[in-house]
Every structure is written in C-alpha cells, then in structure tokens.
C-alpha cells in the first residue's frame, strides 16, 4: 500500500502517516510521532500536507486528534485533481506548443 500511495504522488512519510491513521482510531500528534519513530516537526509537516490533500481530518479539541478520510473519498479527490490537471493542459495545449517551439527549439515562425 505504501508504494501505491507513493505512486499517487504522496511522500513516503505522508503515506506512512495516512496508513497509520487508517488502521488506528483518531490519534494525537505525539502518539503518531512515537509510533512512526519520527520527529514532531516532520510529522506536523506531513499532517499539513495530508490535510491540504483532503486525506486527514483534525478535531477541534486540544490536544487535536487526527483521523484518516475514507480511502474511496481520497481516490475520488485524486481522480478529480488529475482530471482537472489534464483538462488544463488540454485547454492550453496550443500555447504550450507555441512556447516550446519558440523558446526551446528556436522556431520563431510559430
């Protein structure tokens, strides 16, 4: 599963944190850091990345508890993001090719 998550673009630690949260009840950051034998600073960076990607929820209580978003929802988000990226490239294809030809290949005819 780690390799599969990494193939979706996750950093190794992000994938480890997500899998840990999937397999455990909501956890405080210090417990996650201990379990994964990582520094809290690295862990918080990873949790922020996962929150930004919509893969982790955080409680409002103090200390905060982190939990994994269901994997089917995570996959839907990845599909949507990649579809949007592909559409953006397709919409800008002609401009991208023009830029490539003029700036990289030196073809000033366009």
Query: CATH assignment of 1-69?
Result: 1.10.10.10
- Minimal CA–CA distance to 32: which of 42, 51, 17, 48? 17
Domain ranges, ordered by start, for the chain:
1-69, 70-110
pTM of the model as a whole: 0.80
Cβ atoms of 50 and 60 within 8 Å: the answer is: no
Query: How far is the C-alpha of 12 from the C-alpha of 8, rounded, in Å?
Result: 11
The reported pLDDT for the residue numbered 109 is: 60
Helix (H, G, I), strand (E, B) or coil at 72: helix
pLDDT per position as a tens digit, 52-96: 999 999 999 999 999 999 999 999 998 998 999 999 999 999 999
């Amino acid at each position: 599963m780690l390799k599969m998550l990494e193939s979706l673009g996750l950093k190794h630690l992000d994938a480890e944190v997500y899998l840990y949260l999937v397999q455990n009840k909501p956890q405080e950051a210090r417990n996650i850091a201990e379990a994964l034998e990582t520094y809290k600073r690295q862990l918080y960076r990873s949790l922020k990345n996962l929150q930004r990607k919509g893969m982790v929820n955080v409680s409002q209580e103090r200390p905060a508890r982190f939990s994994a978003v269901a994997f089917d929802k995570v996959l839907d988000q990845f599909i949507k993001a990649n579809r949007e990226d592909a559409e953006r490239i397709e919409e800008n294809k002609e401009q991208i090719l023009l830029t490539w030809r003029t700036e990289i290949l030196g073809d000033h005819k366009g």
